[in-house]
Amino acid sequence: MKYIPPLNFSPVVSTDVSLYRSGYPMPLNYSFIKHQLHLKTIIYIGDKDRPLEEYQSFLESEKIKYYHIFMDSSRDEGIQERMNQVLHLVLDVRNYPILVHSNKGKHRVGVVVGIIRKLLQGWSTAGICQEYGLFSGGMKDGVDLEFITMFETNLKIPRNVIPGFAKHCLYLNELEAAEGSDDESGSESILTAKQPI
């Protein structure tokens, strides 16, 4: 038996939870997803309104939760809110294993993974640019990389469902935020990303 991963497939996080990235899954990839990944959630970042019929039936038969976050490019209006939606989904450990995919797994998923690397894992910008370039083939990287570096957010997340790979960075962010304000609720973590002056 041979399994065929989707286009531009790669694990993003594989320590305590599993987060994968890829292009759009085709029917020849369904057996790989079924037997190898054991997904609980699929997040589609793209511009197709409705999934393919066979994809829809595959999701229903495997009982995989499907979320569609519309994104045409990183210059869309309302892109901030949609990235926050993705972060909320990724920061809930009950949703794992997760596959985040776009149509080709290049630019839109690259932006989402770049934001995850920056905010939740504390990667350097050079490392984020290098990883983005690996999947995009070095094309069309200027606007997306500027969007990743300029992205800021302020989310409140329940503390008990944060996955392990993100706890360290969130803890450090909380330390920095606590220096400014003394009021701190015990049940929630504040994810704050500010640009250094």
Partner 1 sequence: MLVPPANFGIAEEGIYRCSKVETLNLSFLETLNLKTAIFIGGQEPSKFFKDFFTRSSIKWIVLRMSDFSAAAVPVKSSSVSNANLYSNNNSTLSLQEEKKKSTANGSQNSTTGDPVIQEELAYHLTDNDDLMLIKSTCLKRTFKTLLNVDNYNVLLVDKTALVIGILRKIQKWNIASIINEYRLFSGKNRNYFAETFLEIINIEIEQEKDNKTIVDNKAKKLPLENNRTHSIEYKANSGKLIRVNEDDLCREPEVPQRLLTLINQIETKVKNNKVLQVSGVLGDDLKKTSSDLGIFGHRYRLAFNKKENGDYGYYKARGKDNVKIRIPCDSELPDWFRFQRDLWEKENVPEEHHFYREHIFT
User: In Å, how far are 4, 5, 41, 96 from 34, measured between CA atoms?
Assistant: 11, 11, 12, 15
Whichever of 1 and 175 has its CB closer to partner 1, that residue is 175
Can residue 149 be called a binding residue for partner 1 (CB under 8 A)?
yes
Q: Please state the closest distance from residue 129 (CB atom) to partner 1, in A.
A: 6
Q: Which of 49, 53, 139, 142 binds partner 1 (CB under 8 A)?
A: 142
Identify whether the C-beta of residue 69 lies closer than 8 Å to the C-beta of residue 44. yes
Whichever of 51 and 127 has its CB closer to partner 1, that residue is 127
Can residue 197 be called a binding residue for partner 1 (CB under 8 A)?
yes
**Residue that the structure tokens 């994810």 belong to:** 191
Q: Please state the closest distance from residue 126 (CB atom) to partner 1, in A.
A: 4
Can residue 196 be called a binding residue for partner 1 (CB under 8 A)?
yes
- The footprint of partner 1 on residues 150-179 (CB under 8 A) is 150, 172, 175
User: What would the two tokens of residue 77 be?
Assistant: 């209006």
Q: Please state the closest distance from residue 150 (CB atom) to partner 1, in A.
A: 7
Q: How many Å apart are CA 146 and CA 124, to the nearest integer? A: 14
**How does DSSP assign 104-167, residue by residue?**
SSSSHHHHHHHHHHHHTS---HHHHHHHHHHHHTT-S-HHHHHHHHH---EEEEEGGG--HHHH
User: What would the two tokens of residue 144 be?
Assistant: 């997306």
Q: Please state the closest distance from residue 152 (CB atom) to partner 1, in A.
A: 13
Can residue 137 be called a binding residue for partner 1 (CB under 8 A)?
no
Identify whether the C-beta of residue 115 lies closer than 8 Å to the C-beta of residue 37. no
Q: Which residues bind partner 1 (CB under 8 A)?
A: 124-127, 129-130, 141-142, 145-146, 148-150, 172, 175, 196-197
